[in-house]
């Protein structure tokens, strides 16, 4: 198999985003709990953020014309890849501390790996991004690893 991953593409591994800081509000916790049909009172009352609350918290607000044809925001950590259709490849969350209303959280995302495989329908490129979220005390709250594949 000829490599789709040039040295220029591989040089992006290790790139990090600037720290992004977001405030957790009781209202946002409550809205997320209702939207996800959560039944636990601590979430519905907004006393603590439920699992996966962080998923959307650090998303960029993107104009429609800046999305791909599939409606996907192209990850700013990535170089231009020779394959264009993005698909979810897996997530691995590690919840280390609870999140409460009033918490300021800071996320840093790192492109940790890019690799290729041959699938039944052709070449695939996989990339992995690690997001580490800390609170203002400096405690690691969530470790979030996502794998995306391009075909």
CATH code where residue 48 lies: 3.10.129.10
Q: How many domains does the chain have?
A: 1
pLDDT tens string for the chain (151 positions)? Answer: 458 999 999 999 999 999 999 999 999 999 999 999 999 999 999 999 999 999 889 888 878 887 777 776 777 888 889 988 888 899 999 999 999 999 999 999 999 999 999 888 899 999 999 999 999 999 999 999 999 999 8
Is 59 a domain residue? Answer: yes
Nearest 10 degrees: Cα torsion 8, 14, 20, 26: 120
pLDDT, residue 1, reads 46
Is 77 a domain residue? Answer: yes
Torsion over CA: 30, 31, 33, 37 (sign): positive
- The Cα–Cα gap between 15 and 59 comes to 18
Is 21 a domain residue? Answer: yes
Is 1 a domain residue? Answer: no
Picking from 100, 85, 109, the residue whose alpha carbon sits closest to that of residue 13 is 109
Is 45 a domain residue? Answer: yes
Is 2 a domain residue? Answer: no
**What residues contact residue 150 under an 8 Å CB cut-off, 6+ apart?**
81, 83, 84, 85, 86, 87, 124, 125, 126, 127
**Bridge partners of 144?**
93, 131
Range of the domain at 33: 7-150
Is 146 a domain residue? Answer: yes
Using DSSP's 3-state secondary structure scheme, residue 43 falls into helix
Task: Say if residues 115 and 139 touch (Cβ distance below 8 Å).
Answer: no
Picking from 125, 119, 131, 4, the residue whose alpha carbon sits closest to that of residue 76 is 131
Picking from 135, 65, 140, 146, the residue whose alpha carbon sits closest to that of residue 111 is 146
Note the pTM of the prediction, 2 decimals.
Answer: 0.87
HSE-up of 96 (CA within 13 Å, CB side)?
A: 13
């Amino acid at each position: 198999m000829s490599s789709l991953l040039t040295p220029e593409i591989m040089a992006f591994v290790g790139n990090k985003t600037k720290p992004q800081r977001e405030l957790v509000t009781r209202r946002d916790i409550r809205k997320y709990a209702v939207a996800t049909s959560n039944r636990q009172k601590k979430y519905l009352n907004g006393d603590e953020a439920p699992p996966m609350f962080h998923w959307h918290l650090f998303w960029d607000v993107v104009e429609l014309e800046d999305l791909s044809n599939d409606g996907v925001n192209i990850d700013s950590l990535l170089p231009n890849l020779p394959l264009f259709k993005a698909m979810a490849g897996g997530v691995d969350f590690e919840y280390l501390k609870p999140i409460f209303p009033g918490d300021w959280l800071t996320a840093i995302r790192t492109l940790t790996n890019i690799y290729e495989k041959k699938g039944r329908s052709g070449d695939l490129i996989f990339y992995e991004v690690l997001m580490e979220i800390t609170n203002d005390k400096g405690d690691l709250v969530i470790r979030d690893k996502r794998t995306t594949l391009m075909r």
